[in-house]
A and B are shown apart, each in its own frame.
Chain A
């Protein structure tokens, strides 16, 4: 049972464009939603995170939008750069009981010049 569904599986964006990755979750106990960026051969690195009491969070070129009623959240990368080319994972976490992160399957982003 996949508890966090992520789309699209892959994304190609031109330099300067906006990259949008979407995630949906099922477990209403989730209360923390981080996004991780992973380059080939490296471990995931935390990019930005949000809690459900906030509808949007922005850090530099990265913005998370959160819709609690729809149980959906998305990552927007503004002014996408070739250096942003990586695999992005959304994740969800419940601090009540289980502390494991549940990850989506990932989105491979390619930013072309």
Chain B
């Protein structure tokens, strides 16, 4: 399978615990995005990487959230001290940008469903 993969697919945790999600983008895609989707809503942008550099963060990304893409390949999203309001589907997308400012197609992974009890 050459698509975007995410792990785990489902995560149930207790309030206050830390969780970490992993995203493996399509090979050679240089841009990687994280979105959050709650029930009945469209995905909302969280953050974006160009190679290993985190270039943009949404105001939705509180200081309890941190994302990394250490070698410009896979990425991790960590949520510290989870709250019930963090329950959502966390989606990863990747794209291949051929030039600065170019419009690129974002391909989404299957998501990680987080439930905070």
Chain A positions near chain B (C-beta within 8 angstroms): 6, 31-32, 34, 36, 41-46, 49, 51, 89, 91, 93, 95-96, 98-106
Once A and B bind, how many residue pairs between them come within 8 Å at the CB atom?
64
A96 with B101, Cβ < 8 A, contacts A102-B45, A106-B40 known:
yes
Closest to B97 in A: A99
Least Cβ distance of B108 to chain A in Å? 4
In the bound complex, what is the Cα–Cα distance between A41 and B106 (angstroms)?
19
Q: Interface 1/0s, chain B 54-71, versus A by CB < 8 A? A: 001010000000000000
Interface size band for B: 20 to 34
Chain A residues with CB below 8 A from B101, complex form: 95-96
From B35, B105, B110, A49 is in contact (CB under 8 Å) with B105
In the bound complex, what is the Cα–Cα distance between A34 and B111 (angstroms)?
19
Contact A43 B110 (CB under 8 A): yes
